[in-house]
């Protein structure tokens, strides 16, 4: 099977859905023919589909999402790009109080088929305003779907499902994943929301990880295998809806759980997954749950300090060994 990058997989999904459905259009800052997006995901699409369907916008996140919500409820399928995930804070009313609630508040008379693509995560030394992982914010809002693809295959399949769906989706992309290569079939496919993927089978410890942390977990699992510890790595792929069954079944098999995410530890992704397992599978646990996440601090600009706060393979290995 051919191998393409995460960036190329996303671009393919956008191109194929725009060809398939004329109501799909893109909007965001610098996504058009002169720049192709801050991370080049939309490069070349304006040349193919024109400036009406690949729309450069003013530098106003609230305007981008406000326009997208209006377009969605009147029959279009907008895909909005927010240049950095941190900047969704500037459109939080439009996201959390409008997009997420309109279908419910109008008794199902309107649909909001809106996708908000945005990059999260650190590792590129761009400081506290451009490096956060804020997925847990959106998990807390009823009415929003939250996707966290970790591979090119997952990115393409989930994005196509998001565009075809009738609910608002926060589509989280990690900056360090854009050049990451993986196998992606050429034929059309989608991945349903709410279906986790076991990226590596194991017997001794379950590690649930998201986004770029999936790859760190897989590297940690390889190291631990040499020491006789068998790690199962589960990638939720979507956080809302969350595939609780796959996670719980894995914990029932291994009896141990480590949850890894790049967001802050308090009230974060790891806290929710740990709580679910504690509620639904505590009798199967042979050791306390361990969480590996960032400390509750802004992301430093200093490269050594940034690397210090971002979870790495050593932190995952240490957590596994504490309970194995």
Q: Which pLDDT score, from 0 to 100, does residue 7 have?
A: 98
Q: What percent of the chain has pLDDT over 90?
A: 99
Taking Cα atoms as reference points, which of 24, 6, 164, 133 lies closest to residue 80? 24
Q: Is the peptide bond before 241 cis (omega within 30 degrees of 0)?
A: yes
Which positions ≥6 away from 222 have C-beta within 8 Å? Answer: none
Beta strand pairing status for 77-81 and 24-28?
Answer: parallel
Q: Which pLDDT score, from 0 to 100, does residue 203 have?
A: 98
Torsion sign, CA atoms 184, 82, 79, 15? negative
Q: How confident is the model at residue 141 (pLDDT cuts 50, 70, 90)?
A: very high
Ramachandran quadrant class, 123 (left: phi over 0; alpha: psi -120 to 50; beta: rest)? left
- The residue count for the chain: 324
CA distance linking residue 191 with residue 184, whole number of Å: 12
CA distance linking residue 321 with residue 7, whole number of Å: 35
Rg (CA), the chain: 19
* Per-residue pLDDT tens digits for 106-124: 999 999 999 999 999 999 9
* Per-residue pLDDT tens digits for 36-45: 999 999 999 9
* Per-residue pLDDT tens digits for 213-243: 999 999 999 999 999 999 999 999 999 999 9
Query: Which part of the chain has CATH 3.40.50.920?
Result: 197-323
CATH 3.40.50.920 for domain 197-323, yes or no, is yes
Catalytic residue of the set 130, 140, 174, 215 = 130
Query: Which part of the chain has CATH 3.40.50.970?
Result: 3-183
The dihedral formed by the CA atoms of 14, 18, 23 and 26, expressed in degrees to the nearest 10: 40
Active site residue 130: yes
CATH of domain 3-183: 3.40.50.970
Q: How confident is the model at residue 159 (pLDDT cuts 50, 70, 90)?
A: very high
CA distance linking residue 202 with residue 320, whole number of Å: 13
Q: How confident is the model at residue 308 (pLDDT cuts 50, 70, 90)?
A: very high
User: Considering the chain, what is the average pLDDT of its residues?
Assistant: 97
CA distance linking residue 33 with residue 21, whole number of Å: 21
CA distance linking residue 88 with residue 26, whole number of Å: 17
270-277 mean pLDDT: 98
State the CB neighbour count (10 A cutoff) for residue 222.
12
CA distance linking residue 320 with residue 322, whole number of Å: 5
121-131 mean pLDDT: 96
């Amino acid at each position: 099977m051919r191998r393409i990058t995460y960036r190329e997989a996303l671009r393919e999904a956008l191109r194929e859905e725009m060809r398939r459905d004329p109501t799909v259009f893109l909007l965001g800052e610098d996504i058009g023919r002169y720049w192709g997006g801050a991370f080049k995901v939309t490069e070349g699409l304006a040349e193919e589909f024109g400036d009406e369907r690949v729309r450069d916008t003013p530098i106003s996140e609230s305007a981008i999402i406000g326009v997208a919500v209006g377009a969605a409820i009147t029959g279009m399928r907008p895909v909005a790009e927010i240049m950095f995930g941190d900047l969704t804070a500037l459109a939080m009313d439009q996201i959390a109080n409008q997009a997420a609630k309109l279908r419910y508040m109008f008794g199902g008379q309107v649909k909001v088929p809106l996708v908000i693509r945005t990059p999260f995560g650190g590792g590129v030394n761009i400081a506290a305003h451009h490096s956060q992982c804020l997925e847990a914010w959106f998990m807390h809002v009823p009415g929003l779907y939250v996707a966290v693809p970790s591979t090119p295959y997952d990115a393409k399949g989930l994005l196509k499902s998001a565009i075809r769906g009738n609910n608002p989706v926060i589509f989280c992309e990690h900056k360090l994943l854009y050049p990451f290569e993986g196998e992606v079939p050429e034929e059309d496919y989608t991945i349903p929301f709410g279906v986790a993927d076991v990226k590596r089978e194991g017997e001794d410890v379950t590690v649930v990880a998201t986004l770029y942390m999936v790859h760190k977990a897989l590297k940690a699992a390889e190291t631990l295998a040499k020491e006789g510890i068998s790690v199962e790595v589960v990638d939720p792929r979507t956080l809302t809806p969350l595939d609780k069954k796959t996670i719980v079944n894995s914990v029932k098999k291994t009896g141990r759980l480590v949850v890894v995410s790049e967001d802050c530890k308090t009230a974060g992704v790891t806290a929710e997954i740990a709580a679910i397992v504690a509620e639904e599978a505590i009798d199967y646990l042979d050791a306390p749950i361990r969480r590996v996440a960032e400390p509750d601090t802004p992301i430093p600009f200093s490269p050594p300090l940034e690397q210090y706060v971002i979870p790495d393979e050593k932190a995952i290995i240490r957590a596994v060994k504490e309970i194995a």
